[in-house]
Structure 1
Amino acid sequence: MQSRLTYIIFLLISIISYGQVNLSVTSDKTTYTARDIINLTIVLEIEGSDYNSQQTKLRLPDFSKFNLIGTGSITNGFMDPETNTIISQSVTRLALEPKQKGKVKIGSFLITINNKIYKTEPFEILIKDVDKKASVANNSLKDVYLNMEVDDREVYQDEPTIAVLKVYSRNMDNLRKVKNIRLPKDNELDVYPVSFAKSEIDPSDYGNMSSQVLAIFLIFPNESGYVEVPGASASVSTFAGKNKIVSNKVKINVKKLPEGSPESFKNAVGNFKVSIANISKEKVEVKKPINVLVKVIGEGNLKNMELPKLAESPDYEIFAPKITSNVKTETTGMKGEILANYLIIPKKAGEISIKTENFAFFDPDKKEYIDLGQEVLKVDAFSHDQILESRTTVEKVNEYTNTFLETVNTPVLKTTSFKVKEKSRFHWNVLFVNIAILIALFIGYLIFKNWQKKRRLQKVSKPVKPIGSVAETEKEIREQLKTDVNDYFNYLENLKDKEEYEKFFQTFEELDSEVRNQYFQSSEKDFAGFLENYKGAAIAEEYRNLIQKVQIEKYAPVKSSDGIDILLKSIVNLYSQISK
């Protein structure tokens, strides 16, 4: 009896140590038509390190009743950190075309591992005749597939991996009907598009099907462990309407960051540099604000990392910063710079050290933490009396003159326009240039009057233009309603240079309203939907981001010329594309 008990114990121990093998097969549905493609997914999961002698390849059942039009497989391997168990997963996908109608049986898939045969259960599918009432367009949609390919499926937390979304079809015309691409969304992932530009169509890609790249994007996993990336989606437009198609899901093994991180490490993963500078042009005066710029430049998770802040000090007062980003997402990663513009008010005279907090990041290439420490900016603050004593006689006269002109104003002439600028002098070149401009304008005025006179004479003898058709009249009205955005661009440039920011934002709202009215869209939300349908998802997303940036910049307590300049460039770039 004791020998039997010992035998049972050893048998259980051997079964536990050997692990487990799971072989399964699933179909995308159970009922098909004669023109449908049957997609089978075969999953082989092996848990345990002792299953390392796969003696045969996956043996397929009898497919004489089908045409095998496509096949592909992928293998993933990782270690479960909780159980320290090695898990290997192999996924094989088959695309079949039925040859006959009715109930068709799909047999067992077989594989031999460690001298043991594993098989799946056979199952039946139903092949129905094609519904004659269904349109040809709807039938063609079933031949369109999305596939998401991830470059690196084993990354660190907050380390990016590149993903490519491709569309496949046996009918090349179906590829041109794919629109409204939606990238995956998940709370554990940050997804940033790299490009929505469609590639050239490859007429003979996987399984003799045509393919085309629809989008390239970066995926930043926020949590470690086994993370599943949801499928991307798109719509296929036909005369009957729009139909949604969804890509495959992808699993990523997200590695935990190594232990022993510095106290100053938050979540920065990549390679970065930090700098600090005083961007105010005037001398630093006690109890008067200065602008201090903290810049983080490099490559990594720039958009979701925690930036180093300015350290608190009794020598100065800190206000909330204005954040500006200049970041590009490329196939190699996210690169650029993040700018934090702080408003600092010194509290004492003398040398003041403005410091940043300690900053550290993890470099995935070197697989180590790098502590950059603190960045220090030393400034000399002067009292108000010291500032006055350091001024020259000319600067003092200019200040007194400006004070007088600001406080004394006549009802006939606005004297504040005669304020004397610091260290200004008379430039003869400016005078000559202005005289030349006035002469040119006068000559232009004479030419214009002469041309206007000739035009009136021609209009008298010109025959009456016949009334065109309704379509021609409607086209002419649309051309008249078209907004000349270049005039707005020039005016916005002038307002920016004069630092009249309130008029700048009012003018932008007028530009946005006129462009929306040109396309008969009353609200920003409707206009964004219109752009997504007729200009593409990239233009629509750029429009939403621009409106958000304008609102942030408009209500910011401190406005910088650099931020307004970047905003103006974005406005010119976007509305030039919309008005083409």
Structure 2
Amino acid sequence: MKQKLIHILLTFLSVITYGQVELRMKPDKSDYNGKDVVNLTIILELNGDDLVQQSKIQLPDLSKFNMIGNGSFSQAVRDPESNVAVEQYITRIALEPKQKGKIRIGSVLVTVNNKIYKTEPFDIFIRDIEKKTVAKNTDNDVYLNMEFEDREVYQDQATVAVLRVYSKNIDNLRKVKNINLPEQDNMNVHPVSFHKSDIDPSGYGNMPSQILAMFIVFPNESGSIEVPSVSASVNSYASKNKIVSNKVKLNVKKLPEDSPECFKNAVGNFKVDVYHSSKEKIEAKKPLNVILKVSGEGNLSNMELPKIESSPDYEVFAPKITSKVIAGIEGMKGYILANYVLIPKKAGDFNIKTEEFAFFDPTEKEYINLGQETLSVTAFSHDDVLEARTTVEKVNEYTNTLLETVNSPVLKTTTFKVKEKSRFNWGFLLINAGILLSLLAAYLLFENWQKKQIIVKEKTTPMPLGSIAETEKEIRENLKVDIEDYFIYLENLKNNRSFDQFFKTVEELDLEVKNQYMKSSTNDFRQFLEQYKGDSIAEDYRNLLQRIQIEKFAPVKSEEGINDLLKDVIKLYSQISK
């Protein structure tokens, strides 16, 4: 009888021990489209202190898939009731199917305490496979391939595309130029970089490859969207051939339905600020500049900005929009400024409020409502503003007006403008008078020196003629302009808010630089930049000309927008005139 009881007890213990190890594998679903990623989850649980994992988890044959990602983590706890240790190991694998149809995924194996455990095999079904092909130019043996980092995104969310060129002949890679990015109504495309990477000797089909460009795409519709081909040209001495890349389908997910009423189309992560930059007292019935700033990362260039609400306390006009946005791998990053002109209708305290603003964060997969932003303002009457001024402030205002009037393009006299002081200072008055006399004398000396320089240039004897190359070099040296003088003059015009003269001077600078390279038209100059300075400089030059025209004919001009434009003018023309 005792032997039977011992046998039953041992059998029961073996059943309990067998149940202490659990191994299972499951997919996220059983039916996949060709563009879907197959996600497998493997879970190993060990319940007991005496269980030892003697081998790593052995995966089944996955040759019918491309492994595009994997990760694992473990956790250990102790059951307070039974005082038994529980260890759990979780592994996740992301696979890309190579073929369509029914595919069987085999068993996962692991050895614990000299015993082999395995999972049950299962089948998944794959629909049509989207083959990764590259567009081919049969004449030159050059291929273009457009690759997307993520082909499943939300509406108005950025996805990064990389354009690669392949060729058996490495020399052909250097001949690819004039890249034209895709254009389509249901998407917005922004270039990130046209900088060519180093040549990879082992690319698709063991062909050398090179990255030509990176750009981001913002699909503005949900559903299946096809990105058109990117085109380029292969230039050789004998001919110029056009090549195109493959087309790519994106699966654009619709945004969740529970959006706030103030949500429009902002997708990313943003922040809203409202402020006014004037340090002077605000006067009723006089214009006031109020800036609404939206900063962050996402679809900045394509989103609908919040507005300043109308109010009986002030009159608000349409804003002047300026931006400083760069394209990155997560979207458009930077800020957009809406410069509003408000006119307070009466003296007193009032609040300037913005519309409520909400955006969708694709990382957190939720809507975030920032609400309203409020700016408290106090407006004074005209008499109050005049009474608040001291005697020294009135003298300084007169001096500053005179300094702005006699300002020259060489001496930056606006730096001598006097700041407001609370008490009268006779020393400042004497210093200002001395500065005025010095400036007038310097200006007369400068005019006299310029006249002498012109006479000296007229008396110079011509150099003897040389070869055609030497003559062309000499002409270019004579045409070379000192653009630093233009930069100083433009800075003075910007500080004096002489915007009309500012844009005339920019046009003169552009004409002088074109003459330096003996180019008369803008198209010829752009082709010259593409050939000798690179595609990136030529594209920056085209964008800068567009920005100059936008700023020139804008109804309201802001100092911040003109300042950013001047920085870009100095940067680009310094590179061109090297």
- TM-score for the superposition, normalised by structure 1: 0.68
1:170-213 CA distances to partner (integer Å, 9 max, x unpaired)? 11111111111111111111111111100011112222110100
Once the two structures are overlaid, the 10-residue window that deviates more, 533-542 or 348-357, is 533-542
Partner of 1:479: 477
CA distance in 2, matches of 1:93, 1:205: 14
Would the alpha carbon gap of residues 509 and 20 (structure 1) be closer, same or farther in structure 2, given more than 3 Å must change?
A: closer
The alpha carbon displacement at 1:260 in A equals 1.4
Matches within 5 A, 1:282-293: 282-293=280-291
Give aligned-pair identity as a percent.
Answer: 61
Question: Residues 395 and 477 (structure 1 numbering): CA distance in 2 closer, same or farther, change over 3 Å?
Answer: closer
Q: Which amino acid aligns with 2:129?
A: S
Partner of 1:14: none
Question: Which position in structure 1 is the counterpart of 2:217?
Answer: 219
Match of 1:193, as an amino acid? Answer: P
Deviation, structure 1 residue 540: 2.5
Contact 2:399/2:432 (CA < 8 Å) preserved in 1? no
- Deviation at residue 489 of structure 1 after TM alignment: 1.5
Aligned equivalents of 2:350, 2:557: Cα separation in 1: 25
Matched to 1:226, the amino acid is: S
Q: Deviations over 1:458-515 (max 9, x none)?
A: x99xxx9764222222221122223332221122122222332222111111111122
Q: CA deviation at 1:224?
A: 0.5
Report matched runs for 1:79-478 at 5 Å.
Answer: 88-92=127-131, 141-392=139-390, 394-395=392-393, 423=421, 425=425, 426-427=427-428, 467-478=465-476
1:395-445 CA-to-partner distances (Å, cap 9, x unmatched) read 46777x789999xxxxxxxxxx9999854853599789979x99xx9xx99
Q: CA deviation at 1:225?
A: 0.5
Question: Which of the numbers 556, 560, 563 marks the counterpart of 1:562?
Answer: 560
Q: TM-score, normalised to structure 2's length?
A: 0.68
8 A Cα contact 2:266 2:360, kept in partner: yes
Rounded to whole Å, the distance in 2 between the matches of 1:326 and 1:76 is 47
Once the two structures are superposed, the pairs formed by residues 521-532 of structure 1 within 5 Å of their partners are 521-532=519-530
Q: Which residue number corresponds to residue 104 of structure 1?
A: none
User: Is the Cα–Cα contact under 8 Å of residues 284 and 343 in structure 2 kept in the other structure?
Assistant: yes
Checking the alignment, whether the CA contact within 8 Å between 1:272 and 1:361 is kept in structure 2 is: yes
Structure 2 vs 1, CA of residues 397 and 193 (structure 1 numbering), >3 Å: closer, same or farther?
Answer: closer
Deviation at residue 563 of structure 1 after TM alignment: 1.6
1:163, 1:272 → 2: CA distance?
A: 23
- Deviation at 1:160? 0.2
**Whole-Å Cα distance in 2 between the matches of residues 307 and 76 of structure 1?**
45
Deviation at 1:348, TM superposition (A): 1.8
Deviation track 1:346-400 (CA, whole Å, cap 9, x = no partner) reads 012211110001111111111111111110001111122332343345546777x
Q: For 2:349 and 2:188, how far apart are their aligned partners in 1?
A: 43
The alignment of Structure 1 onto Structure 2 pairs a total of residues equal to 443
Deviation sequence 1:87-131 (CA, Å, 0-9, x none): 833134689x9xxxxxxxxxxxxxxxxxxxxxxxxxxxxxxxxxx
1:306 positional shift: 0.4
Alignment check: 8 A CA contact 2:31 2:126 kept: no
RMSD: 4.1
Q: Give the counterpart letter for 1:308 in structure 2.
A: P
Report what 2:508 is aligned to: 510
Structure 1 residue aligned with 2:16: none
Aligned amino acid, residue 325 of structure 2: V
Q: Which runs of 5+ in 2 are unaligned?
A: 1-29, 37-60, 66-95, 102-124, 404-413
Amino acid paired to 1:277: Y
8 Å Cα contact 2:179-2:230 kept in structure 1: yes
Cα 1:194–1:404 change in 2 (3 A) is closer
Aligned to 1:539: 537
- The verdict on how the C-alpha distance between 1:319 and 1:174 changes in structure 2, with shifts beyond 3 A counting, is same
Write out per-residue CA displacement over residues 32-73 of structure 1, whole angstroms, 9 at most, x where no aligned residue. xxxxxxxxxxxx899xxxxxxx99969xxxxxxxxxxxxx98
Structure 1 pair 538/94, CA: closer, same or farther in 2 (3 Å)? closer
Residues 274 and 90 of structure 1: is their aligned pair in 2 closer, same or farther, counting only changes over 3 Å?
same
- Which has the larger displacement, 271-280 or 534-543? 534-543
Change (3 A) 1:515 1:506: same
Could you tell me which amino acid in structure 1 is paired with residue 337 of structure 2? L
Local SS of the residue matching 1:90: coil
1:1-20 C-alpha deviation (Å, 9 max, x unpaired):
xxxxxxxxxxxxxxxxx999
**Alignment check: 8 A CA contact 1:157 1:224 kept:** yes
CA drift at 1:295: 0.6
Q: Contact 1:405–1:419 (CA<8 Å) still a contact in 2?
A: no
Provide the secondary structure at the position in 2 that maps to 1:159. Answer: coil
Q: Which of 532, 547, 550 is matched with 2:548 structurally?
A: 550
For residue 196 of structure 1, what is the amino acid of its counterpart?
F
Alignment partners' CA distance in 1, 2:358 and 2:35: 39
In structure 2, relative to structure 1, the CA distance for the partners of 1:94 and 1:156 (3 Å cut) is closer
**Given that residues 180 and 536 in structure 1 are in contact (C-alpha distance below 8 angstroms), is that contact kept between their aligned partners in structure 2?**
no
Task: Please tell me the residue identity of whatever aligns with 2:127.
Answer: S
Which has the larger displacement, 229-238 or 380-389?
380-389
Structure 1, unpaired ranges of 5+? 1-17, 22-43, 47-53, 59-71, 78-85, 98-137, 407-416
Which whole-Å deviations, capped at 9, do the CAs of 1:116-169 have from their partners, x for residues lacking one? Answer: xxxxxxxxxxxxxxxxxxxxxx98x53110111100000000000011001111
Partner SS, residue 370 of structure 1: strand
